[in-house]
C-alpha cells in the first residue's frame, strides 16, 4: 500500500432547471442535508459525497475534487459559500473543479 495521500471527490454537479425543486425532491427522497442553497445553485451533503444542483447558464456540470495543491491548476477564485477553486477541463472536455481543501 502506498503512503501517498489521495485527493478526494468532493461533489458532483448536475444541471437542473429549478434549484429549489431539485433540493426539495432530493431531500425528500434521500437522507441528505442541505449544505448551501441560493437562487443559482445548491449543494446537498450525503454521508460520502455532495451533490450540487446548478443552473445551466450559471455553472457547467462537473466533478469537484478537494486537494491541497489546487492552485497549480490556476488562480483560485472565492465562491459565495466560502470555498476557493479553479475550473479546468480534462483532455476529453469534461469540466473539473479543483478545490482548495483548506477552504472546505
Q: Is residue 50 part of a domain?
A: yes
Structural domain count, the chain: 1
Q: Is residue 3 part of a domain?
A: no
Q: Is residue 84 part of a domain?
A: yes
Is pLDDT at 3 greater than 70 in this prediction? no
Is pLDDT at 30 greater than 70 in this prediction? yes
46 and 32 Cβ atoms separated by less than 8 Å: yes
pLDDT digits (tens, 9 = 90+) for 39-75: 999 999 999 999 999 999 998 999 999 999 999 999 9
pLDDT digits (tens, 9 = 90+) for 66-77: 999 999 999 999
Question: What is the domain-level CATH number for residue 47?
Answer: 3.10.180.10
Residue range(s) defining the domain that contains residue 83: 8-103
Give the per-residue pLDDT at 37.
Answer: 97
Is pLDDT at 99 greater than 60 in this prediction? yes
Find the range with the poorest average confidence among 47-51, 61-65, 79-83, 95-99. Answer: 79-83
Q: Is residue 1 part of a domain?
A: no
Q: Is residue 2 part of a domain?
A: no
Q: Is residue 31 part of a domain?
A: yes
Amino acid at each position: 500500500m502506498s503512503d501517498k495521500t489521495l485527493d478526494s471527490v468532493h461533489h458532483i454537479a448536475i444541471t437542473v432547471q429549478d434549484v429549489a425543486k431539485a433540493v426539495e425532491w432530493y431531500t425528500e427522497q434521500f437522507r441528505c442535508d442541505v449544505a448551501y442553497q441560493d437562487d443559482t445553485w445548491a449543494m446537498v451533503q450525503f454521508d460520502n459525497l455532495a451533490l450540487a444542483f446548478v443552473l445551466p447558464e450559471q455553472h457547467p456540470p462537473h466533478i469537484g475534487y478537494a486537494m491541497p495543491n489546487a492552485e497549480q491548476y490556476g488562480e483560485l477564485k472565492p465562491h459565495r459559500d466560502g470555498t476557493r477553486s479553479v475550473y479546468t477541463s480534462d483532455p476529453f472536455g469534461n469540466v473539473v473543479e479543483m478545490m482548495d481543501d483548506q477552504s472546505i
